[in-house]
Structure 1
């Protein structure tokens, strides 16, 4: 019987989310956190896909009874990190499901980070002041899912600060502080998955907390089903095809063995400088995502093809649509599209490439193409904003560069309504005579 994850319907609107979920799982199996975020309209299935993906996670082996999920070969918690391998062997090991925990909108700092263990403190036989690890320490080597993270970042800034530390380095870190107890600092290897509805209050995460948005390696813009049959299949709960990536837990090859070609690193450097990217995390995320795309495809080298697939996902929450369009034009030009620096490749190839990479970008390119075709169909208009074709054709029109257009200011500054003369005011009441 297929798992729920594989029974979910894939369509052009959600295929990118399936792809990055599988990339994040593959990274976690190699002890590499890979943080992902899904943005989109409510009811499109973001949370359903992410929660169902817990079925992809193979179990972990930990020191027996360790709430911090200590790896037997690399113990990190306050109780086990100073033990020898012989002492750990005496404690024994156990296999448990890989953690998949959630942080809710009502979560408190103590439940997320850690707090005093009240059960031990109030034990009448042997009262002991000890720490109880919170959601993040208990999710070590697993995944934390946060639904509506844009709301959480707005209403609980202290939790957003904790996530900045967890996601800022690899491995991340969390610090537990309680009065009367020594401060405990823990390394944590955990992937943060998040979903948000940017069209609702308080808005997109990148506008609420730009630093937190930048910590996500990739962001997927979740789209709606693009055909009637996809909706029919969703309602029927019927999958039309087998999963592309197969069993993530049985991937052949190692992420460490995937090589990044020197050409790709040079391209990433040029993208960072030539397109004015602010954060180095953007190019680092593109490199990591390219390696994961190659791993899932069974390839040993990450090249320009993989970079072109993942670039929009790593840039969606970091730069505007125009910059993404320009970068994708540059990448496509390297594979035989056009000369470097020019806007995207020819119509047919451009449409196919963008549709494969991101539904949102495909929609954007399609809109531009339709607008261009409409303008070219207009008769010659001698208006300030539109001029005829350079060859003088009557049926062709183009938009004039706004930087080369003369802007004429109004002759007089605007006046408040209270200072306008009576004859310039408009009223609904008929003018009274006599």
Structure 2
């Protein structure tokens, strides 16, 4: 099956960048995408998994049982062969890949807690009767939701490292381009994918290179100072925002082949980290501001002030 190319997706630049940063540094803790249905969120995530040499892509259904998510003991093997064998769950299947949950706000609180703990620690304990087995599960958690259908608890919202808002494009030319590309892909998927083969290879190589140099990227004292000041200004709770903003800025610098994090890196990624954590009132919008596909509108995470 041919997957729609990641680089062919247009109109989702923030989402694509946030996902890319999480591939460069899995410690960022995943991405929460809020907004409209039918905007290509699933297509974007699948495209990324294919771009990076077909890393695992696991779609976790909202109605999945605990056994399906976490795993269980194979009773037939235990009864017939008198030996213990574990049936891995979806979490284990997502190891070193992407775990995608549509309408994540409708997932049970218990399973959501387990997922976020696993995303933070790299695994979980499968507890069944007298059995306690550690299951490796390092993945990029990607959740999507429509805030109009209910919100996540603040504690869970904070556990998503990055967040973006995805809105339906209002620019006529952009909408036409999206439709034209989709029709071309549906007509001849192989031919369409071939158009983006070089771009896909270049981006994949760029991400791998960024993963390699990430630990060596330097963070000047001035950047630590700026990030701390920014998080204080936005009245975020705890220290998670400070840490994630620094990591996201470093991943962004690595992505662009820089040896040092700059203020521009922080400015580019700050809304990903702070929009769902900030207690600062949103800045008033100018009435003369032109409407753009990526602009603010009612219901979106507020734009944060720059450093």
TM-score bracket for the superposition, by shorter chain length: 0.7 to 0.9
Give the structure 2 partner of residue 293 of structure 1.
252
| Cα separation, 2, equivalents of 1:34 and 1:249 | 22
Question: Is there any run of 5+ residues in structure 1 with no aligned partner, and where?
Answer: 59-96, 326-342, 365-434
| Cα separation, 1, equivalents of 2:135 and 2:3 | 34
Cα pair 2:34 2:164 within 8 Å, conserved:
yes
> Does 2:5 align with 1:10?
no
Deviation of 1:321 after TM superposition, in Å, equals 6.5
| Cα separation, 2, equivalents of 1:46 and 1:187 | 27
- Give SS of 1:10's match: coil
Give the structure 2 partner of residue 233 of structure 1.
177
> Does 2:102 align with 1:102?
no
Give the structure 2 partner of residue 248 of structure 1.
204
Deviation of 1:187 after TM superposition, in Å, equals 4.8
RMSD: 3.3
Deviation of 1:245 after TM superposition, in Å, equals 9.7
Deviation of 1:98 after TM superposition, in Å, equals 2.5
Equivalent position to 1:302, from 254, 257, 261: 261
CA deviation vs aligned residue, 1:152-199 (integer Å, no higher than 9, x gap): 1xxx222112123223x3x333121111x3312345322101111112
Question: Is there any run of 5+ residues in structure 2 with no aligned partner, and where?
Answer: 185-191, 301-307
Given the superposition, is the C-alpha separation of residues 4 and 177 from structure 1 closer, same or farther in structure 2, using an over 3 Å criterion? same
Which of the two has greater helix per residue?
2
Q: Which has the larger radius of gyration?
A: 1
Deviation of 1:111 after TM superposition, in Å, equals 1.2
> Does 2:150 align with 1:194?
no
Compute the TM-score of the two structures, normalised by the length of structure 1.
0.58
Equivalent position to 2:73, from 116, 127, 132: 116
| Cα separation, 2, equivalents of 1:307 and 1:38 | 20
| Cα separation, 2, equivalents of 1:6 and 1:191 | 16
Compute the TM-score of the two structures, normalised by the length of structure 2.
0.80
| Cα separation, 1, equivalents of 2:48 and 2:241 | 25
Deviation of 1:148 after TM superposition, in Å, equals 0.8
- Give SS of 2:134's match: strand
Deviation of 1:256 after TM superposition, in Å, equals 0.7
Equivalent position to 1:166, from 106, 114, 118: 118
Runs of 4 or more, structure 1, over 4 Å off, are 238-245
Given the superposition, is the C-alpha separation of residues 311 and 278 from structure 1 closer, same or farther in structure 2, using an over 3 Å criterion? same
Give the structure 1 partner of residue 20 of structure 2.
22
| Cα separation, 1, equivalents of 2:235 and 2:220 | 23
- Give SS of 1:132's match: strand
